[in-house]
Structure 1
Amino acid sequence: MKQPLDGYRVVDTTAMVSGPLATMQLADQGADVIKIERPGVGDFTRLASNRRAGMAASFLNNNRNKRSLALNLKHEAGLTALKDLLATADVFVQNFRPGVAERMGIDEPSVRAVAPEIIYVSISGFGDAGPYASKPVYDPLVQALSGLASIQGGADDARPRLVRTIVPDKLTGYVAAQAITAALLARERGAPGQHVRVSMLDAVIDFLWHSDMNSQTFVGDEMPQSAAASFIDLIYATTTGYISVAVQNDKEWQALTAALDTPQWRDDPRFATAADRQDNVNARLELTQERLAEASAEYWLERLTDYGVPCAPVLTRSELVDHEQIVANEIVEYNEHPVAGTLRQARPAARFSAMPGHPARGAPRLGADSRSVLHDAGYDAAAIERLIAEGAAATDEGTT
């Protein structure tokens, strides 16, 4: 059975994480994603550490199910080949800094001249306007400018902290993928091909507003976030490891006091209501930690579960892959890559009831699909060999 995006072609000139992750979501759902890379260089993540047989884990985990076409876009014939391919495509995605696509000749008007109804997608760091638009951008800079680092620190006057995963990059990828499918649906319903713009800064601020910007919601009644709710994480040490315990409502609070055999907490005025428990959060969490430190993680997880208290073990990366919950849901899958060998990767998170999972095709070697993609764009064998001989294209079937 066909996949949700079967029949759509996406031409992808992006590199690093946000763009490649966005297009990998589309590829995982059946789209024909053609990754355009510079001959001999390719996506910078190909050079990242943690490699096997010349293939980097970072590249493998963001470029599954794609085809690689190595084109020199500074060569006139290479640029022409890209435009010939775009004429067959539904979506074009680029994440160059503002102004670069124009200089390269692949800005929206230039692309629309050959593909009038294409979905043109620009992914940027700080957006198209303003003093930061043309600045270099990396994930920590967006965490800083968006307020995420301050929120992670706790209070406005506390030391800001970075989230130790690249939230802006990855979040932007998911936002872009959803926006692309929305634009394709709109086009199916009669709308013209649109220009979809997604910036990392936009994505993170939107993401934060739903839970972390309540103090700025009421115009005229803004509140400084001068005090953090708590600097204590909901992570507790036991005699054998760490667990997480989270209670929200009165029923769960009552269950926690029963499971911990601490009925006296119910009569403590500091914890009488949900509001009281929030106002005295540090005292509550410290008492909980003292009690949980008296026995093993295994003991507490079983007991808390029996009493209906929300809880879970804190897993390391190595423990995660074999945990019974992850295994039961088949979240981690194993695939054979022709170069890198057996890979362990997370399967696509969205599952479609009427469509089987897309068989994984490992991330491609640089230029591995150049001939087949150029053939799809209308080039015959002689023309393809000419492009390669002139340095406008490259095929590196034997390399990474």
Structure 2
Amino acid sequence: MPGPLHGFRIVDLTSMISGPLATMILADQGADVIKVENPDGGDHTRAANNRRNGFSASFLNNNRNKRSVALDLKNPAAREALLRLLATADVLVQNFRPGVVERMGLGEDAVRAVAPAIVYVSISGFGETGPYAQKPVYDPLVQAVSGLATIQAGSDGERPRLVRTIIPDKLTAYNAAQAITAALLARERTGPGEPKGQHIRLSMLDAVIAFLWASDMGSQTFVGEQIPQQQAASFIDLIYETATSPISAAVQTNREWVALTGALDKPEWLDDPRFKTPALRQRHIDERLMLTQEALRARSAEYWLDRLTQAGVPCAPVLTRSAMLSDPQVIANGIIEETEHPTAGQLRQARPAARFSVSRAGSARGGAALGEHTVEVLAELGYSGEQIAALAAREQAA
């Protein structure tokens, strides 16, 4: 069966990661996503490194299952073609800097004139108003302003550190995909005469701060209380060296703590006054973790993983990116898939995380060449071959 979003059309004007990843999630779930790109280079990630046969990994990993249409939106005829496309669409997603899309003649009012019920989505870096709204934005800047870099350092008093993956971009993408689905569901349930389409506004800063509040903003939660300097739970990561390769192990409950002491042959820790209760173990967490590290250095990762697992202690190997591909749990879950791209060759990618019991979700089409589907999509809109050729000629002359 087709994906759960089969029958919905999404016009994607975004580039880089946050917007394209959001629309790829929906494309994987069956939506007809039409990516509209500038003929002069297209999405910026097309030019990224780590590439083969003209396709970058970054572009391929954020743009599968989409059709690509190349239109120079500075050309009035191309803009008219886009509006004609939008009249057939359920969703428009754009991530231009605030104000740009209006100057292009594609603001919400202009689009609703041809598509009154469309879900209009605006993704920004810092939001549409405020002193940072017009700043150019990249992931490190959002990590800095949101507090994420300080949280990653472990303490407000330590030097801030960036998370080594673009969390703001990807969080924004997942928030946007969920919000779009919610807006489509709400639209389907509206009665006669009720507003149909909504305007979803989402910034990377919104997404990260909301994400952090669930677990990292406890001292900022109670209004009226004196807020102490945020302290780290520990200055030691739960990554331990062994005689061979690193492992991770974590204990929360009393039962797990007792199991750990047994697995490490350290029964004396149970009588240590620093570790008598969960509260004391938390207060003396650095000492506890340092002792655990000293014990684990004595033997191999394989030995400890087997012993800790048998004792009921939560543990796992720490894998490199390449080693993760062959991990038995990853293989058992079928997380990594290989597909054949007509130009880029054999590709390895993660399948969509959510699996549906009835509807199909997955990769049916690799990332498209720039403008690969321009003729196909324009013909679907009723353009004749002569009109398509004339539009292409006008864009080349512009």
Shorter-chain TM-score tier: over 0.9
2:34 equivalent to 1:34 = yes
The residue number in structure 1 matching 2:184 is 184
The residue number in structure 2 matching 1:278 is 282
The residue number in structure 2 matching 1:160 is 160
Task: Tell me the TM-score normalised to structure 1 length.
Answer: 0.97
2:295 equivalent to 1:291 = yes
Query: What is the Cα deviation at residue 392 of structure 1?
Result: 6.9
The residue number in structure 2 matching 1:61 is 61
Q: What is the one-letter code of the residue matched to 1:320? A: M
* Counterparts of 1:231 and 1:393, CA distance in 2: 61
Q: Is the 8 A contact 1:101 1:107 kept in 2?
A: yes
* Counterparts of 2:210 and 2:82, CA distance in 1: 34
Query: What is the Cα deviation at residue 65 of structure 1?
Result: 0.3
Partner of 2:214: helix, strand, or coil?
A: helix
Query: What is the Cα deviation at residue 154 of structure 1?
Result: 1.3
* Counterparts of 1:279 and 1:379, CA distance in 2: 70
2:366 equivalent to 1:362 = yes
Q: For 1:239, which of 239, 243, 247 is the aligned residue?
A: 243
The residue number in structure 2 matching 1:227 is 231
Query: What is the Cα deviation at residue 359 of structure 1?
Result: 4.0
Shift in alpha-carbon separation, 1:97–1:393, aligned structure 2, 3 A: farther
Q: What is the one-letter code of the residue matched to 2:176? A: A
For residues 1-400 of structure 1, the aligned pairs below 5 Å read 1-190=1-190, 191-391=195-395
- Over the aligned positions, Cα root-mean-square deviation in angstroms equals 1.2
Q: Is the 8 A contact 2:30 2:361 kept in 1?
A: no
* Counterparts of 2:375 and 2:231, CA distance in 1: 60
Query: What is the Cα deviation at residue 393 of structure 1?
Result: 11
Q: Is the 8 A contact 1:387 1:393 kept in 2?
A: no
* Counterparts of 2:357 and 2:122, CA distance in 1: 32
Unaligned runs of 5+ in 2: none
Q: Is the 8 A contact 1:73 1:104 kept in 2?
A: yes
Task: Tell me the TM-score normalised to structure 2 length.
Answer: 0.97
* Counterparts of 2:155 and 2:114, CA distance in 1: 52
* Counterparts of 1:79 and 1:392, CA distance in 2: 15
Summarize deviations over 1:109-165 as a string: whole Å, max 9, x none: 010011000000000000111000111000000000000001111111111000000
Partner of 2:140: helix, strand, or coil?
A: helix
Q: What is the one-letter code of the residue matched to 1:144? A: A
Q: Is the 8 A contact 2:67 2:373 kept in 1?
A: yes
Q: What is the one-letter code of the residue matched to 2:292? A: T
Number of aligned pairs? Answer: 394
* Counterparts of 1:207 and 1:133, CA distance in 2: 20
Q: % of aligned pairs identical?
A: 67
Q: Is the 8 A contact 1:68 1:369 kept in 2?
A: yes
Q: What is the one-letter code of the residue matched to 1:186? A: A
